[in-house]
Amino acid sequence: MANRRAVVTGASSGIGEAAVRALRATGWDVVGVARRADRLAALEAETGAGAFAADLTSDADVEALATFLAETGPLHALVHVAGGARGTDRVEDGRVEDWQWMFEANVLSAQRLVSALLPQLRRGAASDGHADTLFVTSTAAQTAYAGGSGYNAAKAGEAMLAHALRLELNGEPIRVVEVAPGMVHTPEFTLNRLGGDSAAAERVYDGVDNPLTAEDVADVIAYALNAPGHVNLDLITMRPVAQSAQYLLARGPLRPRGTEEL
């Protein structure tokens, strides 16, 4: 069998970029997708991954991506990482434009991709045994927090899409995996959420002993896709040890109790 091929969205930075690298390192052919063609070109030159520039909030761009994939080889996995958050407003103060963007970027983009690419994934499964869809959501999909309502709602919507899709694909050899990270320190997520305020973005991580990295999440993505085809990891929730829950975050070095004098 030829190498399996995956399309990875959000590939120009953060978890998406790291996922391209992790899958390439484990033998996958990969097509990275993002809006920033220059970043994709650099990743392509470094890793040998393919690249396709697209805005996943555009029906035309998603249709063009589907056509490109169909013309260039089989498809065995959709890894949907693209998305994001805007703002930390209360519900009463939220900007409708921010909420609309979050729903478009996190939920409707996932629906567009599934609708456009599922026929190709079915063909990949028919010829090579199984196919995969994997969605990177967030612990924000599981637990609400003040100032997170718009992102909570969008990521919960994306998670419900994945859960429903798994039921709808019952009887087909197509896995549906959800990876829900907690605190991940990436260069852009919090910076974009806070409108480019770099000082405020860094304060989010102040004193946290080893928040997750994009590479940590990418390793889990690669593990899930490389698991035997009959094994489905429905939901993987991952957090740094310092974050016991969405609302409980330790700041400062982690150490066992009673060892302060050691």
Catalytic site positions: 151
Question: Burial of 261 by CB count in 10 Å (0-12 exposed, 13-18 middle, 19+ buried)?
Answer: exposed
* Contact residues for 224 (Cβ-Cβ < 8 A; gap 6+): 132, 134, 177, 179, 233, 236
Element (H, E) at 164: helix 149-168
**Residue 158, both tokens:** 């994306």
| CB neighbours of residue 34 within 10 Å | 25
**DSSP letter string, 11-52:** TTSHHHHHHHHHHHHTT-EEEEEES-HHHHHHHHHHH--EEE
d(CA 37, CA 34): 7
Question: Burial of 152 by CB count in 10 Å (0-12 exposed, 13-18 middle, 19+ buried)?
Answer: buried
